[in-house]
Structure 1
């Protein structure tokens, strides 16, 4: 399989899941730790527009700010650092995430909005919670000022500009759940 390079100044949907049915985030502290590692390894090289950490997979919407090799290495460092800590915690060895991590180039603004909505509403779509707005480990909670536990810098102003304002963003997110918005290509996921 040919891996698409992460081109500077482009937006991507980054997502991945566990291997062999392993729960990769056993608790809230695991999720906080992953986001701290994300801040440490990735934040200088990408702008994060949205994220959502589920128990067995995650979604990030990013804009690449640096050279592809630097960004790819940063993601590798993130995944390896988390897997090492998780394996120690769980007294296990081996790979934790599918390789390579999935990446989809976002080529237009409408698709970018749809991917952000998809990431934020993922917990409700997977029946992890009744209302995605109450899911703490999503960047949506940052927009609602409900997220104090999960530290990761988000490009708030850029996202709000995509939706015009917070009220419209909330409307679009809520409206998407009434529609079968599955036009996102998540091949192999």
Structure 2
């Protein structure tokens, strides 16, 4: 998570996460153009000097590079720790745009239920490597807990829809296709 904080936190807000032994999920919102411009200021200035303007795709490319740096750093750390070499990830990361609050709430529930649906635990509430419990707590965290709770109305409803495992598989069918 320290690598996540170094590479991803400067460019994205976190709404949910779940770290499973063989994969992980992050629900992120890329920060505003203004926030990104501040973070990438030096690189944007160099582009202005080199090209006399900022190429349209520059910020998008810089965002992709942040993810690449994150995955590469993570792979290097694991390889060093376990005296291994080579690729750690079998596929490139996948992403889906979330355009509505309904879809966002469904994705958050899906991510929190993931350890249970993959048989890692019998009950997702027992799993400590997801943001489910963090969102209910008052701990300082990278997770946008207030925004997530507001999406569900309040903490009681957040807990209730998770307990009922209210995932509309039609609403998130595109995620189910990439999760295999």
8 A Cα contact 2:8 2:67, kept in partner = yes
Number of residues of Structure 1 aligned to a counterpart in Structure 2: 151
When you count helix as a share of all residues, which structure comes out higher? Answer: 2
Runs of 5+ consecutive residues of structure 1 not aligned to the other structure: 1-34
> Structure 1 stretch 115-124 or stretch 125-134: which is displaced more?
125-134
Match of 2:76 in 1: 84
Aligned partner of 1:39 in structure 2 is 5
**After superposition, what is the alpha-carbon deviation per residue over 1:62-114, rounded to whole angstroms, capped at 9, x for unaligned?**
00013322221111111111100111122211111134210011121111100
Partner Cα separation in structure 1 for residue 65 and residue 84 of structure 2: 24
Q: CA deviation at 1:152?
A: 5.2
Preserved CA contact (<8 Å) 2:135 2:148? no
5+ long unaligned stretches in structure 2 = 37-58
Task: Name the counterpart of 1:181.
Answer: 169
> Is the Cα contact below 8 Å between 1:46 and 1:63 reproduced in 2?
yes
Matching of residue 160 in structure 1 with residue 149 in structure 2? yes
Structure 2 CA distance for partners of 1:152 and 1:92, relative to 1, 3 Å: farther
Does the residue aligned with 2:29 lie in a helix, a strand or coil?
strand
Contact 2:15 2:108 in 1 (8 A): yes
- Structural mapping, 1:81-160, within 5 Å: 81-145=73-137, 153-160=142-149
Q: Please tell me the root mean square deviation across aligned C-alpha atoms, in Å.
A: 2.1
TM-score of the two chains, using structure 2 as the length reference: 0.76
C-alpha distance after superposition, 1:2-60 (max 9, x if no partner) = xxxxxxxxxxxxxxxxxxxxxxxxxxxxxxxxx11111111011000000000000001
How many angstroms does 1:124 deviate by? 1.1
Query: Whose Rg is larger?
Result: 2
